[in-house]
């Protein structure tokens, strides 16, 4: 999760952070691809191919970062599906985990360099090939276009982090309740919906519904993801209300 003690000056908007993550990942891929350009007279057997194959993994990282950046700027799953020529379900299946991982780490880059300094490094990276573009990255950031937005973003992050802390606690409680369900050896006369373990599972699901609904309000660009999670746990809770304990589910 994001560090709430980080000073506001170092915290950019999730939209900015996502664009920086994409830019840094793309630059890294470009640098790695560039390593294949020089013609070595006698490379180790297979090294050219293995280096090329490594690029595939880095390309997947660029694609995932691009999906995150699109979502953070408010592009819907339907729009992503249309742009990529696939069904919404396929688009969601392809990149939902990347979004979830991004949210889990606080919606910030995974780079060691602080975000503002990273933007300047990427400016220099672009300028090395295009000398007339000295602020190609920095100029497009919300922090540059809307000075003073940092404090607001820091407040929003603090609010979201409290919810994500609750979410992790609720997920742990759900896992514990679910394990208790799986450990049950029920007789025909004690497997009803009022069984304490069944009630614990239902309560855990309902708690998750509440938290995901609150996250939908706190993180508008990702609201549909949170609402889908809320809907899924709501359906689970309803099923256990109707069917009772089901260790095999």
Convert the pLDDT of each residue in 179-206 to its tens digit.
Answer: 888 887 655 445 577 888 889 999 999 9
pTM of the model: 0.80
Q: How far is residue 124's CA from residue 136's CA, in Å, rounded to a whole number?
A: 9
CA atoms within 13 A on the CB side of 57: 6
Contact yes or no for 159/215 (Cβ under 8 A)? no
Confidence category of residue 85, pLDDT binned at 50, 70, 90: very high
Long-range contacts (CB closer than 8 Å, 24 or more residues apart) made by 95-98: 95/63, 95/64, 95/67, 95/68, 96/225, 98/64, 98/65, 98/67, 98/68
Burial of 37: CB neighbours in 10 Å, binned 0-12, 13-18, 19+: exposed
Res 45: pLDDT: 94
Residue 246: pLDDT band (50, 70, 90) is low
| pLDDT at residue 156, rounded to an integer | 75
- Predicted pLDDT at 190: 54
Q: Give how far the C-alpha of residue 135 lies from the chain's centroid of Cα atoms, to the nearest Å.
A: 27
- The string of pLDDT tens digits covering residues 102-129 is 988 888 899 989 999 999 999 999 999 9
């Amino acid at each position: 999760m994001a560090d709430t003690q980080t000073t506001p000056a170092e915290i950019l908007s999730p939209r900015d952070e996502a664009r920086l993550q994409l830019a840094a990942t793309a630059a890294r891929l470009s640098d790695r691809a560039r390593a294949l350009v020089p013609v070595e007279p006698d490379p180790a057997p297979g090294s050219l191919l293995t280096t090329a194959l490594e690029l595939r993994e880095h390309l997947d990282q660029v694609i995932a970062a691009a999906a995150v950046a699109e979502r953070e700027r408010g592009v819907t799953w339907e729009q992503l599906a249309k742009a990529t020529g696939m069904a919404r379900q396929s688009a969601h299946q392809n990149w939902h985990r990347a979004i979830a991982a991004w949210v889990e780490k606080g919606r910030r880059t995974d780079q060691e360099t602080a975000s503002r300094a990273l933007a300047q490094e990427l400016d220099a990276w672009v300028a090395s090939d295009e000398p007339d573009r000295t602020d190609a990255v920095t100029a497009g950031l919300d922090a540059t276009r809307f000075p003073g937005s940092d404090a607001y973003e820091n407040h929003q992050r603090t609010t979201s982090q409290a919810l994500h802390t609750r979410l992790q606690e609720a997920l742990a409680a759900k896992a514990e309740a679910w394990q208790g369900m799986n450990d049950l050896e029920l007789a025909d006369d004690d497997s009803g919906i009022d069984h304490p373990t069944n009630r614990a599972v239902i309560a855990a699901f309902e708690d998750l519904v509440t938290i995901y609904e609150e996250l939908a309000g706190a993180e508008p660009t990702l609201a549909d993801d949170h609402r889908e999670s809320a809907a899924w746990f709501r359906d689970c809770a309803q099923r256990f209300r109707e069917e009772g304990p089901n260790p095999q589910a």
